[in-house]
Amino acid sequence: MMQFTSVGFMIVDFAHQPRSNMRLPQIVRRLSVAVVSLAALALPLAGQAGASPAAADPPGSAPAALLAEPGMQSPEALAVLQGILGAAAFGPLGLPELGVTTPQDFMYPAPTLGCGIGESPVTVTVASAQSGPNFPIPPFIERGQLRFQAIPAHVDLPKQSGLNVIWFNTTTFKGGMEPLNDALLGMPTMSKTVATGAGTVLAALYGDVTYQSGKTCFALPTVGTFTA
């Protein structure tokens, strides 16, 4: 009979081995097995007679248990453990870090001139910023990034985006200006994913959007504070 053993199970199993007479070579060998498990995520293993499955620990408890093992404070063992944890955080196939986030709105909708609902020449542009990690549910955003998005309240197909965002990270003292010129199948999405770095980010968004009908929306600046 075949059974599947998850990565979390293998690490917890190692963490609950007897503490007496445990030497560094033994720890390194066991961690090497864990590396293989992380690369494969789940390996079909032959069931062991008389072995009962160990209860799963809460998330995050396995690394703490490993660090508590005798000899784990040595540089060699810590280096192996850091490599394992780094591979687990990034994913076994080089995929982005898993996570789910929600958009953070700018302080107020941007007053917008030149277009609107019906024949109105005035409307607003709603803008937001979303941080990472956000994967596997789109939009895909990595940690240390902000995805800026703006949508004028005007019913038409966009032709060209002249929207821009100016940002400044108060934690790293880095900033810049980026056009919201991403496109999907040739159509502007009025969005941009920016590598702002982790920290508190101040941003201002403004610019124009030209539509297939020939109308152009001019969005006055709106501002916001976001956590990346």
Q: For the segment 166-186, what is each residue's pLDDT rounded down to a tens digit?
A: 999 999 999 999 999 999 999
Q: What is the rounded distance in angstroms from the CA atom of residue 151 to the CA atom of residue 154?
A: 8
**C-alpha to C-alpha distances, 102 to 30, 163, 198, nearest whole angstrom:** 39, 22, 16
Strand runs (DSSP E) across 7-163, as ranges? Answer: 42-46, 104-105, 110-113, 122-131, 146-152, 158-161
Of 4-18, 58-72, 103-117, give the range with the top mean pLDDT. 103-117
Question: Is 121 found in the same domain as 179?
Answer: yes
Asked if the structure places residue 125 within a domain, the reply is: yes
DSSP secondary structure of 2-19: EEEEEHHHHHHHHHTS--
Question: Is 110 found in the same domain as 83?
Answer: no
Asked if the structure places residue 134 within a domain, the reply is: yes
CATH number at residue 141: 2.60.40
Domain that holds residue 173: 104-227
Q: Quick check: 14 pLDDT over 90?
A: no
Amino acid of residue 66: L
Strand runs (DSSP E) across 35-82, as ranges? Answer: 42-46
> How would you label 67-101 residue by residue, b for 16+ Cβ within 10 Å and e otherwise?
eebeebeeeebeebbeebeeebeeeeeeebeeeeb
Asked if the structure places residue 99 within a domain, the reply is: no
Of 65-79, 94-108, 178-192, give the range with the top mean pLDDT. 178-192
Of 58-62, 74-78, 187-191, 209-213, the least confident: 58-62
More confident residue, 152 or 59: 152
The predicted model gives 76-91 an average pLDDT of 50
Amino acid of residue 11: I
Q: What is the rounded distance in angstroms from the CA atom of residue 158 to the CA atom of residue 174?
A: 32
Q: What is the rounded distance in angstroms from the CA atom of residue 220 to the CA atom of residue 18?
A: 66
Asked if the structure places residue 215 within a domain, the reply is: yes
In degrees and rounded to multiples of 5, residue 135 shows phi and psi of -165, 135
Domains identified in the chain, total number: 2
User: What pLDDT, on a 0 to 100 scale, did the predictor assign at position 63?
Assistant: 47
Q: How confident is the model at residue 37 (pLDDT cuts 50, 70, 90)?
A: very low
**Which helix or strand (DSSP H or E) is residue 68 part of?**
helix 61-68
Asked if the structure places residue 137 within a domain, the reply is: yes
Q: What token pair was written down for 223?
A: 């501002």
Asked if the structure places residue 123 within a domain, the reply is: yes
DSSP secondary structure of 152-187: ES--S-EEEE--EEEEEETTTTEEEEEE---EETTE
User: What pLDDT, on a 0 to 100 scale, did the predictor assign at position 74?
Assistant: 58
Q: What token pair was written down for 176?
A: 């810049």
Question: Is 159 found in the same domain as 210?
Answer: yes
Q: How confident is the model at residue 97 (pLDDT cuts 50, 70, 90)?
A: confident
Asked if the structure places residue 95 within a domain, the reply is: no
The predicted model gives 42-62 an average pLDDT of 43
Q: How confident is the model at residue 110 (pLDDT cuts 50, 70, 90)?
A: very high
Q: What is the pTM of this model?
A: 0.60
Q: What is the rounded distance in angstroms from the CA atom of residue 202 to the CA atom of residue 12?
A: 42
Mean pLDDT of the chain: 75
Q: Quick check: 111 pLDDT over 90?
A: yes
Asked if the structure places residue 98 within a domain, the reply is: no
Q: How confident is the model at residue 137 (pLDDT cuts 50, 70, 90)?
A: confident
User: What pLDDT, on a 0 to 100 scale, did the predictor assign at position 59?
Assistant: 46
